[in-house]
Each structure stands twice: as structure tokens, then as C-alpha cells.
Chain A
Amino acid sequence: MARAQSPRRTALMTLAAWSVALIIFFPVLWMILTSFKTEVSAVAMPPEFLSADWTLDNYVEVWARSDYPRFFWNSVVISVGSTLLGLVIAVPAAWAMAFVPGKKTKDLLMWMLSTKMMPAVAVMIPLYLLFLKLGLIDTKIGLVIALMLMNLPIIIWMLYTYFKEIPAEILEAARMDGAGLWNEIVHVLTPMALPGIASTMLLNVILAWNEAFWTIILTTTKAAPLSAFIASFSAPQGLFYAKLSAASAMAIMPILILGWFSQKQLVRGLTFGAVK
């Protein structure tokens, strides 16, 4: 609504909106603050704010642990790896469904969607036992495969909605210009679909990084990513509050930053294109 409203109303609304936003954001903020306090300061009652002792020690100590960098790296490998693998399989499928739709295409898409709705616990046992037999427990590759399969429906759906936005006439023009399937994909489709592919990658890296079921069940120590690490070690015997906060802050920071840039992709990806 473009009309001017009274300055008082604007001020009131702004105050209300900011209050709500800060309340929602507060746990993240408090965590970041705590991560810079000394342990003593962190558990002080009543909680210290301006009078706290500030330090960078927590970050140094957490990172210097022999395993934290490894967990961080595992998260990177697993989330990026599963997304890339998913893309390789999903791009051709989404292409086919977007540009050569058949009578069954819509049903196929719905079915793919429905696989996402299957409870993970239903397949947990056979997959666990299968992974055990194949020696894939506690391996990065095992987790890459598992997470790729978890996210494949979302990747296909997102790519499908982006591909549908490419005018079919342009691809027909490429066909008339003599481009075979390969040339069409390389010279025309991919450049035009690149923003959509990037958005899909972004969202799925985020989803894989934050995944907290398979990453916990299928790993023990070597391949555990950050989600498993934090889940197992959150009992305060392992880490004190300040260090816990530092470890947590480092675990979420990459995704927080990526996430701030990917709001649009989030809406499209997680609503399966229903809201854009």
C-alpha cells in the first residue's frame, strides 16, 4: 500500500515488528554472545551481559580439538557431495519431464513427491543392516548416497519448476538450428537454467548440512558430520556452555549465511513450486 500513513503508526508498527524479530532471533544472538564469554561468565547467574569477560579462547580450543575440523569437513563433503550427485541424476529427469511431458508425467511427479513422505524409520532397519553388510556405516560415501536419495525428490521438483519456465520455443529453435540433444543441453538449456540449478544446489546443500536423522544413525566417529557431533556431545559433560556455543556457532554459521541469500529458493523448493 503506497499511501503515506501517519508517522506515529509507522513508528508503532516498526517497534512491534522489530521487537518480534529480535525475540525470534534472540536465541541465536545469545548463543553467539555466549561463545565469546569465558566459561565462568557463561554460567553466571544472573546472566552477565555488559559485565562479562570476553574471549576468543573458546573458538580456538574447539577448533584445536583433533576431531572438530574433521566433523566440519565431513559436513562439507557430505552436503556438497550428495547435492552434486543428486543434480547429476536429477537434471536429465527434470529436463525430460519439463520438455517432453507424457500422459504419465504428472503422476510420476506426484509419486516422486510421495516418496519424500515415507517415514525414514520405515526403511531405517533394512538400510542400516544393508549399510552394515556393505561396510558403508560410518563412511562419507554411505552418507552421501543416503542423503542424495532423501533429497532427490526435492531436487527433481525444483529443477522441474525452473525448467518449465524456459520457453519451449527456444529449445525448438535450437533443434531447427541443427542442435542435437547434447548440443541443446550444453549450449542452450544449461546456460539458461544455470540460475535455477544454482538455486537448487543452494537449498539442498542447506538441507543436507542440517539433516539430523541419517547423519546420526549411520555414523559413529569417523564420518560423523557436525549434526551428529553436536547431537552426541550436547550433554554438558562433554562441552561447557561457552565452548558448546562456539562449536554450535561455527556449525551453523556457513548455513546461516547461505540461508540469508536463499530465501526465494527456500520458498520455491520446499513448497514444491506451489508458492513462488
Chain B
Amino acid sequence: MGKIELTKVRKSFGEVDVIPGIDLVIEDGEFVVFVGPSGCGKSTLLRLIAGLEDTTSGTIEIDGKDATALPPAKRGLAMVFQSYALYPHMTVRKNIAFPLKMAGMEAAEQAKRIERAASVLNLTAYLDRRPGQLSGGQRQRVAIGRAIVREPAAFLFDEPLSNLDAALRVGMRQEISELHQSLKTTMIYVTHDQVEAMTMADKIVVLNAGRIEQVGAPLELYHTPKNIFVAGFIGSPRMNLITGNEAAKHNAHTIGIRPEHITVGDGPWEGVVGLSEHLGSDSFIKVDVAGLGTLNVRGTGELNVHHGDRIKLAPAGKIHRFDANGLAI
């Protein structure tokens, strides 16, 4: 019901090729996350799928039908905007009813769908309020409600959580994931936050400068990144990348090792502790190792090391190897 296929989709603004060419298949029911740094084209890609921008060339198929030339209203997709884009002069009820009204649905059917959406999203008490009277999280839910009632082929989320504070973000993240579990509709979700990507996605699409760097399940990207960009983007703190002699020892131009895969104690790498951050549950330290540079190390629990200490480190996990072009070997 919600399969979306992009074939050689290209988008340029004037002379600038924002998206040089993308091929992508999104299966029905998948939760796909487009992730990447600012300006990588993820929002543009979403808007192309939505129909809010025209493609320069290429085709977009929704459920087997060519939707490239269709206006947004006819694609059967619903979008949740970053700023929620609620109609400020309408009540919550009217906001949610609007797409149904535009579709010419009967009032009775409209009411039924609105009630259902409101109860799923805990909005029943707010139906007669205006957006201006709601909190950020509530507005977020109204925006989702407006999308749900249309029973679309797919939901499109454009960085929906970036305007919420940290605590609220975690809660809403889980709510959206639960929504996906219950509705089982395709969801395409754009974010720059790789934590959101890792926790919510069935499939992650990592974008960089308009190109797809890698597509895969979250843990697939974590364990086997195809290139340095993906390796550095997924995982927090960033993977340590080491060039030079140490890399040559492993037959590679660059090697990478994640901070959580380094142990403190005995090992081949000796260095001096620089910055150390102790959170109680984890410790993050920066160690200056001769010949390798500064390594980020993560330890569970409390690590009893402090600024200035001389310590030894050992790799205790996968060492990723990359060639001179940045590709994984």
C-alpha cells in the first residue's frame, strides 16, 4: 500500500545540482530514516516525494503508479512539518478535519475519524482549543493527527522533533515508533540526529551532498559502514580515525575504532589523558597517544582516570579498515 520507488531522481536549483541522481526503494510498511548533515538534501528529497518541489528529472512511483507529475494532494501522502504548520485560526478539531473536508468526506465519517485519531493521540480533551493555546508536544500531536486521519499511503516527517526540548523529544520519539507499530504504514522520517535514526528506523538512508552514502538497517550501518563518512556519522561519540603507520600495520590507509571498543588498562597504546567527562553511567576521556593522535575513549561506569594521567589503551572490538578513497576494505 505504501511502496515508493525513486528512479534516477535529480533536482537542481538553477546551476546547482542539489541532488545529482538518487535510486531508492522504500517498501510498504517500512520506517525509513533519511539522515545526514545540514544541507545534504534530505529535506529536499522528502519534499520531492511529497510533491512540494518538482523533480528536474527522474521518476517517483507510488504503489506502482507514476506520481512524478502529480500535485501533492493527489499523491495520497501526509506530511508532518518541522514547525507543525497548524492553522492558527482553526480549533484542533477543525485542523484535523481540514484534509477530510477538502476530500469532501461526509460529516459523520469525518467525526468518526477525528474521534479515533484524537483518542490514539490523547487529544480528546483539546479538540476545541486553538493551536496557540497548546504546548509544543500537543501541537506536535495535532500535526500527526491531521496526517493520520487521511489514512495515507505513507507518512512523511520533516525533522518533527527539533523544536522540542530534550526530555520531550525522547518521549515523542517513542510515541512515533509505537504509532508505527500499530498503524504499520510506511513512514519516511528526516532528521540530522543519528540517535533518532538508530532508534526508530527499519532502514537508514545516509545522505551526503545529495548522494546516498549507504542504505541499510541501523546495526548494519553500525557494524559495517561502507565508507569513512558513514563510519564517522553513525555512532556517538564519533569513531576514531587513524592514519599513518598504525593504519599501515593493518594494511589500510585509514583505520577506525569506536570509542566504546577501546579498553583502559593494559595495551599497546600509551598516552596522556586530556579532557575527561564523568557522567556516572559512562565516562568519556580524550587520550593523546603518541603516533596516533587524540583518541576518544568511552568506558562504562566510572573510570578512575583524570587529566594528566598516563594510561594504556587496547583495542577491544572491530577495527574498521579503509582504503585511500575512504571506502571500506
Q: Which residues of A contact B (CB under 8 A)?
A: 167, 169-170, 172-180, 183, 187-188, 191-192
- Chain A: which residue is nearest B52 at the CB level? A172
Q: Are A173 and B102 in contact (CB under 8 A)?
A: no
Q: Are B83 and A177 in contact (CB under 8 A)?
A: no
Q: Are A177 and B81 in contact (CB under 8 A)?
A: no
Q: Are B78 and A174 in contact (CB under 8 A)?
A: no
Q: Which of B22-30, B69-77, B181-189 contacts A (4 or more CB under 8 A)?
A: B69-77
Q: How far is the CB of B13 from chain A (nearest CB, A)?
A: 11
Q: Are A172 and B85 in contact (CB under 8 A)?
A: yes
SS of B interface (majority): loop
Q: Are A192 and B78 in contact (CB under 8 A)?
A: no
The answer for the CA separation of A183 and B78 in the assembled complex, in Å, is 18
Within 8 Å by CB of A170, from B82, B85, B150, lies B85
Within 8 Å by CB of A173, from B71, B81, B103, lies B81
Q: How far is the CB of A162 from chain B (nearest CB, A)?
A: 15
Given the known interface contacts A183-B102, A187-B98, the answer about A175 and B52 at a Cβ–Cβ threshold of 8 Å is: yes
Instruction: Please give, as numbers and ranges, the residues of chain B lying within 8 Å of A169 by CB-CB distance.
Output: 81-83, 85
Within 8 Å by CB of A167, from B78, B83, B98, B150, lies B83
SS of A interface (majority): helix
Q: Most chain-A Cβ atoms within 10 A of its Cβ — which of B51, B89, B146, B150?
A: B89
The answer for the CA separation of A185 and B40 in the assembled complex, in Å, is 33
Given the known interface contacts A176-B79, A177-B146, the answer about A188 and B87 at a Cβ–Cβ threshold of 8 Å is: yes
- Chain A: which residue is nearest B80 at the CB level? A173
Q: How far is the CB of A189 from chain B (nearest CB, A)?
A: 10
Q: Write 19 A-B pairs (CB below 8 A) sorted by A numbering.
A: A167-B83, A169-B82, A170-B86, A170-B88, A172-B52, A172-B72, A172-B81, A172-B85, A173-B85, A173-B86, A174-B87, A175-B72, A175-B73, A176-B73, A176-B99, A177-B102, A178-B103, A191-B89, A192-B89
Q: Does B50 belong to the interface (CB within 8 Å)?
A: yes
Q: How far is the CB of B265 from chain A (nearest CB, A)?
A: 53
Instruction: Please give, as numbers and ranges, the residues of chain A lying within 8 Å of B81 by CB-CB distance.
Output: 169, 172-173
Q: How far is the CB of A35 from chain B (nearest CB, A)?
A: 44
The answer for the CA separation of A173 and B52 in the assembled complex, in Å, is 10
Within 8 Å by CB of A180, from B51, B73, B87, lies B73
The answer for the CA separation of A179 and B102 in the assembled complex, in Å, is 6
